[in-house]
A and B are shown apart, each in its own frame.
Chain A
Amino acid sequence: MNKRLPSALFALTLLTTAACTPAPKENKVAAPGASVSGTVELWHFFTEREADAIDQVIKDFESTHPNIKVTVKSGQDDSKVTQAIGAGNGPDIGLSYSTDIVGKFCSSGAWVDLTPYITRDKVDLNQLNATTRSYTEFGGKRCAMPFLADAYGMFYNKDLFAKAGIAGPPKTLDELTEDAKKLTVRNPDGSLKTVGFLPLYDFYENAAAHLAPAVGAKWLTDDGKSAVGSDPAWKTLLTWQKNLVDWYGYDKLTKFKAGLGDEFSADNAFQKGQVAINIDAEYRLAFLKDQSPNLKYGVAPLPAADPARYGGGYVTGNIMGISKNAKNPEAAWELIKYLTTDDAAVTKLAGLIKNVPTTTKSIADPTLNADADFKAFIDIFNNPNSSTTPPSASGPAYQETFGQFLVNYQAGKVKDLDAGLADADKKVNSVMQLGG
């Protein structure tokens, strides 16, 4: 009898574990015109100034929707939202900072398909920027809506440009190389004092995703497999970057980089004038205003390999969705609809949080466009050459796996680029299988 006890306990635990796993729940949409009321819970990741901005717009929503009360929980990251949904206690609405979760949340049904709500309320999705539309759906299922966006471009130091005799920002990768060399200052011992452009992939915002629009490189093939080995654009980007790294000397660049301050601190290398050209997004404008008000800088689109591609950049953004176990999905949709498609609300949020707006009218808002630097990012956002990273069921696995290869390549550990890219393809495909 005693010998059977452990086996019985094991079986009981297995049954309990299996039984405790949440089962899918069908989501029913109310009839058109049905009144919506009650409490809705919103979890977002913002803190401090940005969280205050959300609160302001939520107050506006509550004043126009008096029957709906919104409970806001700030500082909630994706893993907390995932665990809460998995445990059956997900918030009505989750607001994520990353488009990387769209693939998993759509395919697993963790966020419900919003199409029935969109169809019922006749919401015109064409008012949303095309890139943001693409990163908020996966596998034909629209489970998210874009909540503001980030556009990546190039910041350059005007004083250093003038000192080096450079008239304006580079428009091609070749011009970027040329300017980077002119702007670079070395110490008497050969070490780097000021760097024109720091090309290492693991420096600040130089991730491959942010540089890919410069060459129009594709991440995935139409059947969802890795394209890094087959798309020649990657080879163009990698070769250009490696040539510039080799001109500086990888060891010298690494040493220089090691002494720089943290990206999100007042010691940011661009803000301190240690780096003359930097890849960054529109949110840097707020940091510059706050931490480096005396820095003379300009903003421009990312230089492109082909001049015809100039004007674009990397686009990403925050996303919102309704949990499959939302207690009040109708009220949740009302709030999402307000925050993502109401032009006045989107414009106000963009102005307060200093992110790019996503609807046609808010994009054209004269107040937001009055700031020339901010307008430059709105233009990048609207440019047809801008691109994003495609959603995947395994999240950012394909980007991070390729990122590992790039780090090894720039360090000189990959001798044969073609063979290396082919191997990277295999690794990316292998890791992507984790998503199913």
Chain B
Amino acid sequence: MSAIRLRRSLTTLSFLAPALIGIAVFFVYPLISAVYFSFTKFDLLSVPQWVGLDNYKRMADDPFLLQSVRNTLWMVVVFVPARIVGAIGLSMLLTQLRRGAGFFRTVFYLPALVPPVAATIAFVYLLKPGTGPVDHFLEKIGISGPLWFNSPTWAKPSLVLLGLWAIGDLMVIFLAAVLGVPESLYEAASLDGANAWHKFRSITLPSIQPVILFAAVTGVIYTLQYFDQAAVAGSIASGQATVGAGISQSFGYPEGSTFTYPLWLYTVGFRYNALGYANALAIALFVVALSVTVILMRRAKAFSGEES
């Protein structure tokens, strides 16, 4: 009996092994290493020295932490809901189309296929004040456009616009969810005299709630790690994009408005070679992302009444 059980366990383990090895090598080991290094003074070049909680205490006096946290929180509060609302709206519109639905689904999905760096470069040039096509168009209809990526007020909203343009990845998920809502529910609601808004609020939204939760959790995690677009937009908009000299000199341009938490983490780790403190910042980010995820999951359960 025990031999059979052992054999079954081994069989199960052998099937799980590829995934377990992957998780151990690419997640558990780096995570535990990061925890270890966060308690050390480490520059990648010499032997780490144990400094206890010094790196965590340093956060209280870090002159750039607050600015980077503020910018990242702004992105979480505006960027995530904007993309979810935009994706739901777009998927609702696409389900209403009688003709050419396939064509429009493809058109709206295409920007999501563009690599983030290329998309950001293109977007900065599209919105370039004075010479960009968007500014030309706005001028023709009598509107004086803002400075977009060159304005500390407009730089983050411009990044949100970039995120909305590349909304295709989220749109297809919501489209599948919306199409999965049973037609019979809408028919029954129609018989009861419900209008479009009532149907959306009472049928569509509750039906796609698990997808909204998924989008919110992954969106928050993604935005907490927001790096590529902010780095590239700052570099290109500042007019100092160079090959070789790195781009971190223009991080946060203009006036620190796009200086997100991951940009500071990168600067500390790879520009100032303070890998110990950078790891402490990374662990803090991990704890925040995990906490937000847990809170969102619990709130969602409470709303859907699963706990009751």
Contacts and interface: CB of A to CB of B under 8 A. Distances in A.
A260 B239 contact: yes
A13 B249 contact: no
A14 interface: yes
A255 B147 contact: yes
A203 B272 contact: no
Contact of B253 (A22, A202, A263, A408): A202
B244 A97 contact: yes
Interface in A34-63: 45-47
B85 interface: no
B44 A83 contact: yes
A78 B45 CA distance: 12
A280 B255 CA distance: 23
Given A24-B46, A47-B244, A202-B238, A430 B36 contact: no
A202 B251 CA distance: 11
B276 to A, nearest CB: 9
Given A203-B239, A401-B63, A258 B147 contact: yes
Contacts of A396: 249, 271-272
Nearest to A432: B272
A393 to B, nearest CB: 8
Interface in A1-26: 9-10, 13-14, 16-18, 21-24
A291 interface: no
Contacts of B274: 394, 434-435
Interface string B42-62: 111111100000000010011
A395 B148 CA distance: 32
A431 B45 contact: no
Contact of B33 (A13, A83, A204, A394): A13
A394 B240 CA distance: 23
Given A97-B245, A110-B45, A435-B274, A430 B63 contact: yes
A407 B256 contact: yes
Contacts, number: 143
B184 interface: no
Interface stretch (B10-18, B93-101, B125-133, B167-175): B125-133
Contacts of B63: 401, 426-427, 430-431
A109 B238 CA distance: 35
Given A21-B47, A24-B47, A255-B129, A13 B272 contact: no
A23 B48 CA distance: 10
Given A400-B249, A411-B255, A108 B43 contact: yes
Interface in B250-278: 250, 252-256, 267-268, 270-274, 277
Nearest to A22: B47
Contacts of B268: 434
B29 interface: yes
A261 interface: yes
Nearest to A264: B242
Contacts of A377: none
A263 B239 contact: yes
Contacts of A110: 45-46
Given A22-B47, A83-B44, A77 B36 contact: no
Interface string A96-111: 0110000011001110
A369 interface: no
A108 B272 CA distance: 13
Nearest to A261: B239
Contacts of A400: 249, 267, 271
Contacts of B150: 254, 257-258
B223 to A, nearest CB: 23
B244 A17 contact: no
A435 B272 contact: yes
A98 B273 CA distance: 14
Interface string B149-169: 011100000000000000000
A420 interface: no
Interface string A133-173: 00000000000000000000000000000000000000000
A46 B245 CA distance: 10
B243 interface: yes
A281 to B, nearest CB: 12
A407 B268 CA distance: 20
A179 B227 CA distance: 42
B112 interface: no
B241 interface: yes
A10 B32 contact: yes
B29 A13 contact: yes
B243 A13 contact: no
Contact of A18 (B36, B148, B239): B36
Contact of A86 (B45, B151, B253, B272): B45
B240 A82 contact: no
B130 A258 contact: yes
B123 interface: no
29 contacts: A14-B36, A21-B47, A79-B270, A82-B44, A82-B45, A82-B270, A97-B245, A109-B45, A109-B46, A202-B253, A202-B254, A254-B151, A259-B128, A259-B130, A262-B239, A262-B241, A263-B241, A395-B272, A396-B249, A396-B272, A400-B267, A401-B63, A404-B252, A407-B256, A408-B255, A411-B152, A430-B61, A435-B272, A436-B41
Given A77-B246, A254-B147, A435-B272, 4 more contacts: A75-B244, A85-B45, A426-B63, A435-B273
- A-B pairs, top 9 by smallest CB distance, nearest first, are A259-B130, A258-B150, A434-B274, A86-B44, A108-B45, A110-B45, A427-B63, A13-B32, A258-B129
